Structure formats: C-alpha cells, structure tokens
Structure 1
Amino acid sequence: MIRTWTRGAARAGAARVRRAVVFVLPGLWVLGVVGWELCHPTSGQLLQLLAAAPAIACAGTGRRQCVLLGGVCALLALVPFGAAGPGAEPGTRALTCGAILAVIGASYLTAGRRLRLVRELERTREVAAAAQRVLLRPLPPRIDGLVLAADHLSASEGAVVGGDLYEVVGTRHGVRAVIGDVRGHGLEAMGMVAAMLGSFREVVHDEPELAGVLRRLELSHQRHLRERGRGEQPMGGAEAVSPLAEEFVTLLLVQIAQDGSVTALNCGHPWPYRIDRGAVAPVALVAPADPMPPLGLFPLPEELSAVRCGRLEPGSALFLHTDGAVDSRDAAGEFFPLTEALRDSVAAAGSPRGPAPSAVVGEVREALLRHAGGRLTDDVALLMLCNDRARQPARAAGAGRCSLSLGGRGTGGDAS
C-alpha cells in the first residue's frame, strides 16, 4: 500500500510539473518574440510568430488561457516596434493581428473538442471500472481462515477488464475458488466472463462436489453461446453454424476443506504453485495429473473425479495464475520466469511472520510489468490463498498477514 501511495504521489507531482511548464511556455514565447523585436528590430515582421502563443496555450493549459494570451498577442501586434519600415505599416500590423485572432478562434474550438473527448474518456473509464467491480468483485481479505489476495491486468489499452476471471467463495463444503481464461481478451470477452462468474457464484453453494460445479459451468457456457448465436444470427436459429462454436474457457476449480485438504478440477488451465518456506522447495508447481481439455472444446467425460492435491498446512499458500503471466515476453523474446519471481518475493520476507499474500501478488505484478516493459499481449490474473486457520483466534487484529511455513511440513506439490 505504501508503494502504491508513493507511485501515485510521484505521478501527481510529475503532472503538476508538466502543467507548470506548459503554462509558462506560451508566456516565455511572447517575451522572447517581443524582446528580440526590441533588441533587433525587424520592422514588425517577427511579430507574426506571436500567433503560435495562443495555439500553445490552448494545447497545454486550456481555453481561458488561450483567449487571454491571444488577446495580449493581438494587441502587441498592433504596437509599432522598432524603426519605421514596410513591415511596420498599419495595414501589415492589422493583418498580423487578424491572423492571430484567427489562430485564437481555431485553437479555441480545437481545445473545446479536446476537452469533450477527455470527459468522454473519463466517463468511459468510470463505466469500465464499475463493470470490473461487478464482474471481478474485490475479494475480502479473509474467508474462513484463508487470507486472500488477487490482481488483474488487461492487455487492452485503456481497459481495466478483460478475458480472465477469478472468484473465491466460502461454502459449507469448504472454500472454493475458480480462476479461468476466456478465449480472446479485452472488452469482447466480458460477456463470457460474466456468464461464468455468475454461474459459479450461484451453483457453488448448491453442488456438494466439484464435479457438479463443473458440469453446471459447462451448461452455462453452452447456454451463453446459444444466446449469443441467436443474437448475432437471428434468422439462423439456434442450430446455425457460427464461429462461436470455437469459443472456449480454461478453468481451474479448487476446493480447500476445513482440514486443509485440497482437491481440484482442471480444464486446460495452468496448475497452481504451492508456497511453503519450510519445505526443501519453497515454491513448487502442483501438477498431480494432466488437465482435461478447455471447457467448450469437447464434452466433459461421463466420470469426473476431483484430483487430490495434498494438504495445505497452516502457513502454506496456493498461488493461482492465468497463462498470460507465463506467456509474457520481454524485448528479447524471453518468457517471464514466474517461478523465479515467486521465489524472490517469498525470500524477500526477512521476518518470521513471512510476507503477506498481497505483497507476494504485488511483487509478482511489478516484476511482470518490468519484464514486459508495460506492454502485455494477454490478460493476466493472479490469485493467492494462504492457510492462516491455526493463527486466526489469536490474531484477530492481524488479518491480511500470513506466516508462510512456521514449522509446517512442506508437501511441495505431491499428490495424495
């Protein structure tokens, strides 16, 4: 949080400096032109450069400064500077004044259009932010003894939503989490994201097994595609051939029971990492079985059995991500080393309490943006769940922190 506040303060300071520079620049331009005319008379010919001052003011500071500075420049153009000459005749000065007034009018109209576009962009961003809060609701800091942290990055410039999804819900069957990646990214993927998250939030409380949750998600996926097909091909009916038939979603369903046992169902999604500083491998990939195909490419098999992923001991954590994290490349074409970034973020905690999940997610996010140079080719979702149940009664005021492997036995991704 301190790092975020520091970055925001630095950006605000830089914006103030830019505004000050742009505000002073037109005045310096006018002083320079008038001073040069006084020191090296050109019979008023140099005063024609005063027409650039209102254009600079409108581009940088706004419409009021444009009119004010333009009026000053128009009056200065009428003043007979220097020795008399062809350029100092009243007719020439009047033409220069008229040219400046024309520039003022054009700059005023241009600045007005620019301000309208800026306001429209701000409203669009507000709508996008509201849509993100509805789709990817901010996770609570704790659910049933698990400390949570999540983040999302959109590959679409100017957008805050995309084709990645995640949710964590506490149920009587245990804490259930979903993370997924819709085919495509950006605003065009929002409809499928809304359908998947809405279905998960509804059925996760009703189905006693993860297999039932996944089958209900498959039905929601098919129903969403049928409805989209009818909307895009209203004359073709539900059976019309449509490119929507190739739409698919990768999904990872995870359930953490009260005793810490972890089960999962994976449809073409990257397996999570287990973080346990007390283990030989503090960061290990959990890959107990081959994933099934992504949801929507093929029908689910008749028999669905959740895969056992071991036990999440107190102090251990699961780190879930979408493939946008590992597929991100730098300028040299190298993929982002997610495993090394996780190890560095966990090792950076020097205190026995270990790092907060929010700090781990934040460090990975910053490392990813540095690696990609701020240019992402795919959406990225990061989600971390840390088992803090053993310390929950004694640390009511310390929510949001989780000690990683305080004497916990590392399971390092072994399947049980």
Structure 2
Amino acid sequence: MACPLAQQNGLGARIVTSAVFFAVGTGLILHVRRALLGELRQLRKVAGAAQNVLLRPLPPRIDGLSIAAAQLSADRGASVGGDLYEVIATEHGVRIVMGDVRGHGLGAIATVAAVLGSFREAVHDEPELGSVLKRLERALARHLRERARAEHPSTGLDPDSPVAEEFVTVLLLEIRRDGDVYALNCGHPSPYLLSTGRVEPLTGAEPLPPLGPFPLPAELTATHCGQLLPGETLFLHTDGVEDARDTQGRFFPLPVALAEAARAQPVSPQSVLRAVLTQVLRHSGGRPTDDVAVLVLRNDRTRVPMQHGHSVTHRVT
C-alpha cells in the first residue's frame, strides 16, 4: 500500500511491483523454511540423544561374550520403537532381557523405559532370575496405572483404554560362567542356538503369559536350557523378524537365513546380525511393518584342562 509503484497504473509499474512482491515473498518463504528445517534437525538430535540413553549401545564384549545388537523402528524418523534389549554382567552371571511392547513406534517408548529401568536395577539386586521377572511385572503395573490416571483422571482406569490392553512379551536369560543357560519366557519367541552345522531353537523354558494381562505365578523358577559352549552363538529376536512379509504375504524364513549366516566363515555376532537384517529388509521391501530387534551373543571363553579331570573357564580379552 505504501509502495509508490503500486499506486501507478502503467503496465511497466505493475510488472515491477509484482516482481518486487514476488521476490520479497520468496525470501520470506525461504527464511521460514530454513528456520523450520533448523528446528527439525535440532529436535531430531535431542530425540536421538534421548533414544540412545533409553536403548543404549551395547559394548562389543561383556564377560567373555561377544555381542552385536540392532533395532529397526516401524515409525519413520524413530530409531527406537516398542522392542527392547539389554545385557548386563552381574555376580550371578550375564543377564539378558529381550522384550516387545504391544504396538510399535514412539508410543511404546515410555513402557520400554519402565521395563528397562527396572531390569537394570533388579539384575544386580536379585539373586534369582524369577525375582527379577517379578520386579519387571511390578514396574510395568505401576507404569500402566500412572498412564491410566493421566489419560482418565476423573474415572480411573477405563477398561476400553489401550493402556488396559497393553502387554509386554519378555525373555530373560542368565548365562553363568560355566556356560549354563537359564531362562524365563513370557510369551516371547525362543532364541536360536547356532553351533557347528546346527541351527535349533533353545527351548525348555516353561511358557508364561506376557506381562500385563494376567498375574505371574507366585513361584517362578528359571529353567535350565542347556549350555552355551565356547564358539557357540545365541540369536535373540522379536517377532517383527519372523513376521516380516514379502509382497506375496510370505513370512520371513528365519531358520534358513540363520543357517546361511552360520555357514559363512568366519562366524561372528556382527556377521550374523548383518546377514539377517539385510535379508529381512530385502524380504520386506526395505520397510518392515513392525519393529525389529536382534541380539546376537557368542561365547568366546575357552576351557583349559586342569588336574583331577576338572576344567576352568578363562575369558578371552
């Protein structure tokens, strides 16, 4: 309105006026776009830092076990979803959790935080694996109650609320210094044992219901599932791996993929992880519809014979 050219009626003046307004408008749009992109990059950095604290990267070796782990979120832009894992060395042995929260993506992160936080504390405090699982159950119940109050402050827990239906499948493992493996499984896929020429499920743990919908038994005793001998590998995963489908609706053939990975030499947790995830992405067209988490552990300890027919386990450093 204040532009002198805009008050003139000539064609040339109108063209110049339009060009000026177009240039100014384009500049403003570009400025706003740059500002928004800068804020988006900053938000992603903050989210990435928070996600790394929640599902922190595992070290390549813990107490003689070589480790590789990775997760793929079904939500674009999220590096952490509804799957969880952790490996911690304790005086009772190396303790491992692998879990899967109902649903996927960013909405499940708070539940993942509640379960992982409880596990990281309980594994050092509780001598029995069953007591660790009880602590996870109580932490999840407390978290769901707090969420229910926040979502329904006046009426309490609504039976139709998604919080009321939420559950977590959990696999707890304890690998002792002699390689003995003990497990408690709450509705989670069984891990696979990879040894020379063999790929087979590590079974034996009595199935329990997922955490959330039903209370656990009063007495929980971990089941002995065999041994993880030097050179053998455990493959833990969430159901997003085997549930991945191709364009024809066929499920991902995990045992076949593991057999191929085990035949490649040398076999390492990193090579198994890379081979399986590459095939999962190829099978699903590059984007799984559910969160995928994989954890691979290999026993790199060696047994040295001693007198009187006994042996001792030495860890390779």
Superposition TM-score, scaled by structure 1 size: 0.68
Match in the other structure for 2:248 = 332
Radius of gyration: which is bigger? 1
Determine the C-alpha separation between the residues in 2 that align with 1:290 and 1:261.
17
Determine the C-alpha separation between the residues in 2 that align with 1:103 and 1:341.
58
- 1:307-366 deviations in Å (ceiling 9; x for gaps): 2211111000100000011111122222122222222222222xxxx2221221122122
Give the Å deviation of 1:144: 0.8
> Residues 97 and 335 (structure 1 numbering): CA distance in 2 closer, same or farther, change over 3 Å?
farther
Give the Å deviation of 1:290: 5.2
Match in the other structure for 2:81 = 162
Determine the C-alpha separation between the residues in 1 that align with 2:314 and 2:222.
31
Give the Å deviation of 1:302: 2.4
| Residue 202 (structure 1) aligned to one of 121, 130, 135 | 121
Determine the C-alpha separation between the residues in 2 that align with 1:309 and 1:213.
18
| Residue 111 (structure 2) aligned to one of 168, 177, 192 | 192
What stretches of structure 1 of length at least 5 have no aligned partner? 1-90, 397-416
CA RMSD of aligned residues (A): 2.1
Match in the other structure for 2:5 = none
Matched, 1:355 2:274: no
Give the Å deviation of 1:242: 5.8
- 1:84-137 deviations in Å (ceiling 9; x for gaps): xxxxxxx55554444333332222222222212211221221122111111111
> Residues 241 and 358 (structure 1 numbering): CA distance in 2 closer, same or farther, change over 3 Å?
same
Give the Å deviation of 1:394: 8.8
Match in the other structure for 1:74 = none
> Residues 97 and 340 (structure 1 numbering): CA distance in 2 closer, same or farther, change over 3 Å?
farther
Match in the other structure for 1:376 = 288
| Higher mean C-alpha deviation, range 95-104 or range 210-219 | 95-104
Structure-to-structure mapping, 1:17-416, within 5 angstroms: 92=11, 94-237=13-156, 241=159, 243=161, 244-276=163-195, 278-279=196-197, 281=198, 283-289=199-205, 291-349=207-265, 354-390=266-302, 396=317
Give the Å deviation of 1:287: 2.5
SS of the aligned residue for 1:287 comes to coil
1:196 maps to amino acid: V
Match in the other structure for 1:60 = none
Determine the C-alpha separation between the residues in 2 that align with 1:285 and 1:92.
81
Give the Å deviation of 1:152: 0.7
Give the Å deviation of 1:171: 0.5
Higher strand share: 2
Q: How many residues align?
A: 299
Determine the C-alpha separation between the residues in 2 that align with 1:167 and 1:295.
17
Determine the C-alpha separation between the residues in 1 that align with 2:160 and 2:113.
21
Determine the C-alpha separation between the residues in 1 that align with 2:167 and 2:315.
45
Determine the C-alpha separation between the residues in 2 that align with 1:180 and 1:394.
28
Give the Å deviation of 1:241: 4.4
SS of the aligned residue for 2:245 comes to coil
Determine the C-alpha separation between the residues in 2 that align with 1:93 and 1:228.
65
> Residues 176 and 102 (structure 1 numbering): CA distance in 2 closer, same or farther, change over 3 Å?
same
Determine the C-alpha separation between the residues in 1 that align with 2:29 and 2:212.
49
Give the Å deviation of 1:240: 5.7
Give the Å deviation of 1:289: 4.7
Determine the C-alpha separation between the residues in 2 that align with 1:128 and 1:330.
31
Superposition TM-score, scaled by structure 2 size: 0.88
Task: Answer yes or no: is the 8 Å Cα contact 1:128–1:161 preserved in 2.
Answer: no
Identity percentage over the alignment? Answer: 55
Task: Answer yes or no: is the 8 Å Cα contact 1:155–1:375 preserved in 2.
Answer: yes
SS of the aligned residue for 2:209 comes to coil
Determine the C-alpha separation between the residues in 1 that align with 2:182 and 2:205.
12
Determine the C-alpha separation between the residues in 2 that align with 1:120 and 1:345.
42
- 1:47-90 deviations in Å (ceiling 9; x for gaps): xxxxxxxxxxxxxxxxxxxxxxxxxxxxxxxxxxxxxxxxxxxx
SS of the aligned residue for 1:132 comes to helix
SS of the aligned residue for 1:204 comes to helix
1:194 maps to amino acid: A
Q: Which has the higher contact order (CA 8 A, sep 6+)?
A: 2
Give the Å deviation of 1:262: 0.5
Match in the other structure for 1:406 = none
